[in-house]
Structure 1
Amino acid sequence: MSSEPLAETMTPQQTTKSRARRGRRWVACLCAIGAGLTAALAGGGAARAEDKAGAVALFREAGELIDAGQPARACPRYEESLRLYDSINTRYFLADCYERIGKMASAWAHFLEVAARVRASGDREKEARARERAAAVQPKVSRLTVVVEDASTPGLEVKRGGTPIGPGQWGVPMPVDAGTHVIEASAPGKRTWTARVEVGPGGATSTLVVRPLEDGPASGDAGGAGAGRRTLALVTGGAGIVTVGVATALGFAARSRFDESSAFCNGDRCDRRGMDIRDSAVARANVATVVFGVGLAAIAGGGVLWLTATSPTKGASVGLTPTVGGALVRGSF
């Protein structure tokens, strides 16, 4: 049956009822959506209320620390209180705390932020107070100028304390808190450059020059691997030389021990004491021989590593297996 005959058989009353049912369903859906949004907003409001309560507690604790003459401990409380709940009052007292501990740039910025916000609210008295504090702090704000010599380096990024310094700030005296600042410059294919600069208090100015970055090792370059292999060669060869020295000392000790048996022997005929001494000497000599062989093998392995250090293709592998009376060196290139 086509849709047209069906439409013809539907009376106006039936059409009205159908529309009414659809309308009720839409109202029910909207109510459900509204209820969900209300619940979500209620949950968010509860979370914000908890944050605000925590912010108030931290604000009070910070005030007590200020009264106790401990602003260095109070400032982190104010900072966390402001993070939990952004209050103009908290921001003002944080700026005051920064001024107390000598962070003049941070204090100046927060006083100006407070002035701008209270101006928007129409409180001229608080705005004037915040601007007075900012004006009093401004002459004490220290500044740092970061000069970048090769600003055209592709992908160059300069950071201060991990925060990017945009090109617009290069060569401009920027307000900073007094103290030590770490400047880092990096770019693709270049070696990272890092420097520390000390900025004095009381409105001091400092300048740091970022030199052109040096080229870094090319990707996939065998030079780095070769240098590492040469270092390994020196370590292995050095260990071999030390081992040979130890083996030589053991050999002399064995010889000295063998000589002690002369008092108890007549040629190759010895009593029990003489035989024990000679057995001990032979055992030491055997150990010396094994150690000497291991040392020689290590020296040989170090030589192999050194000679193959510059090979850009297949790497060299050296295996060292102690054997009776020496050692076996196995290598592949």
Structure 2
Amino acid sequence: MNNTLSGINRRTVISGIALALASTHIGQGWAADAWPTKTVRIIVPFAPGGGADSSARVLAEVLAPKLGQSVIVENKPGAGSAIGVMAAAQSKDGHTLLMGSNSMVINPVLNPAIAYDVARDFDAVGMVSAQPLVLVVPASSKITSYAELVAEAKAKPGTVTAGNSGNGTLAHLTAELFAVETKTSITSVPYKGESALLPDLIGGLVSCGFLNLPSVITHIKSGRLRALAVSSPTPVVELPNVPTLRSLGQPSLEVQGWAALVAPKGTIPKDGLARLEALLAQALATDTVKTRFAAMSLQPVARSRDDTAQYLKAEAARWQQVIKARGIKADS
């Protein structure tokens, strides 16, 4: 009798342990799917339009049904994106993301008064998109190639003017990087945005500029601007005959406008971040996203969370060197 009862008790205990373990695994499965529990907000630190904003809006549509919650885009422009980035860094609701861009890593280097630190304050989710810059000159310019531009800058130090969309912008820093890498002297001319710069560039009042592809492609095709090179790793579909800077012997000038998805540090559970990472990679591989990105001259870029974190760190270090070498200061 005792042996029988002992056997029953052992079976009961074993069954109980098995049930408990099964319940634990089920609970873990539910926990992995628990995030998000409400609407997800993607902060874009710019006004509507542009690569980061466009990327965010496409992804919001694609990710919402996969996450089972609404995904909204909230634009918070100002201070060269610092206002939106700070707002995201300070958000603790656990359902806020940030569509970061180059300025996210540039601003703290350019202006020590900016309080956020990308590595300290954000968890990477993944890269999203990239957009090349195009080195252009006025159609009336006597300069017809990259080599001629370098020769002109060396022969007449300071006389080559590079227009940009504002102090500390990617267009500005790329022109300064050009001066460092080619050991030339150029004069940077800041404007309040590309729309203000373009008339003077087309009119020949400035010598050149490293500008976003979408803003110059129409002017290149109409013959008002001449493209000398593109900054992407491979030739641009819209400009198949324009060489890459890498092919011209300047791989260090491979600069692109990028967008990356990040979350305020520690606000989204690890399972939630892993789920986001996987869904983002899946979305970027779809024909829907590829087609819509291509229409905006954007290239989908998939990277893991770890690779993205390393990339952001490398970008910050890269621009810190340029800013220090060229003595660039933030606007007062």
| Shorter-chain TM-score tier | under 0.3
TM-score normalised by length of structure 1: 0.26
Q: Normalization by structure 2: what TM-score?
A: 0.26
* Richer in helix (by share): 1
Higher RCO structure (Cα 8 Å, ≥6 apart): 2
